[in-house]
Amino acid sequence: MTSLSGVGFACASATVVNAMSTGKGAAFGVDLWLEARVKLSSSFRGVKGRVVGMKESPRLIELCVKEVLKKFGADNLGARVITYSDIPVAVGLSSSSAAANAAVLATLMALGEKLEPQEVLEIGVKVAIESGVTVTGAFDDAAASLLACGVITDNEKKRILKTFEVDPSLKVAIHIPRGKKLYSGSLRGMDFSSIAEGIEKVHQMALEGEIWTAMTLNGILYASVLKHDLAPTFLALSSGVSAAGLTGKGPATVAIGTPEKIAEVAKKWKSLGGRIIITSPARRWISDEIAGNR
């Protein structure tokens, strides 16, 4: 009887440029993590998943495991996949991208196989689209989540145009309105054409190195279309942070700045209610070839 096991990790990400209107995006990794554990055995029937601590469907992680098994001709093995996560779900912090990445990495480790990061991303994005958890494929979010750094991307071409490192001395504050979730699939067919020209310019700003200005402008533009409250953004900006804005499709707002500025933001956000998370930019940890060492 064949029995194998593997573990994979991926982080949350925060939006710099949302790709929903133009197909071009940017994001950076945030120090909130998801862990996937995979067991493979010839005695298991099918692939079954479980999302620990959350009432979320395991379909995405199950499909990721199946896709990796198929790629390496290991369809004869059944699998059990479990995820544990610090990442809030359906608030714009790339929980789905992290789940897909971690499930793929864990399965690769169990099989003793390696793939380049681009191949890992393509598997996760393909499955995310098939399972309906993303509007654009979220290649930018997936890349930031996998690589734990900043990325500027062309989502339609599935290309990383540029990477950037975020100053590790900075802190990140996240505001999540109480009781609000917004699943990406619910936005399918929504018209973002009114902000497309502006977002195109914002993406170019990011490419030219104006990352934090781009992040703030992007958040304001998308919040105006998605009807999200801009109070968290403006309260953060009034504290002198480097940037603040809606992350993903929201409803969460992310601010980044010095520890002192972020502490001030957290105090101001308390007046809004909801959940506040203080964390850091993620640290890059991955190599050009990943997984495979059992």
Task: List, as one string, the DSSP characters of 18-73.
Answer: -TTTTSEEEEEEEEEEEEEEEEEETTS-SEEEEETTS----HHHHHHHHHHHHHTT
Q: Are 159 and 118 in contact (CB under 8 A)?
A: no
Q: Which CATH class is domain 1-294?
A: alpha beta
Give the DSSP letter of residue 282: P
Give the largest CA-CA distance in the chain. Answer: 62
pLDDT of residue 55: 86
pLDDT of residue 133: 80
d(CA 130, CA 146): 20
pLDDT of residue 117: 96
Residue 286 token pair: 């991955």
Is the backbone of residue 138 left (phi > 0), alpha (psi -120 to 50) or beta?
A: left
Triad 282, 86, 223: Cα angle to 5°: 75
pLDDT of residue 188: 57
Local structure of 184: helix, strand or coil = helix
Contacts of 61 (CB under 8 A, 6+ apart): 36, 49, 51, 81, 83, 99, 100, 103
pLDDT of residue 184: 52
Closest Cα partner for 279 from 131, 86, 146? 86
Give pLDDT < 50 ranges for the chain.
287-288, 292-294
Residue 36 token pair: 């996937």
d(CA 103, CA 59): 11
pLDDT of residue 26: 99
d(CA 276, CA 45): 42
Triad 229, 214, 9: Cα angle to 5°: 85
Local structure of 159: helix, strand or coil = strand
pLDDT of residue 294: 37
Q: Are 252 and 174 in contact (CB under 8 A)?
A: yes
Q: Are 5 and 39 in contact (CB under 8 A)?
A: yes
Closest Cα partner for 273 from 251, 257, 242? 251
Angstrom CA distances, 168 to 157, 258, 261, stand at: 30, 10, 15
- Sign of the torsion angle spanned by Cα atoms 242, 245, 247, 252: positive
pLDDT of residue 85: 98
pTM of the complete model: 0.93
pLDDT of residue 285: 67
Scanning the chain, the segments in alpha helix (DSSP H) are: 59-71, 95-111, 117-131, 139-147, 193-207, 211-226, 231-237, 259-269
Local structure of 139: helix, strand or coil = helix
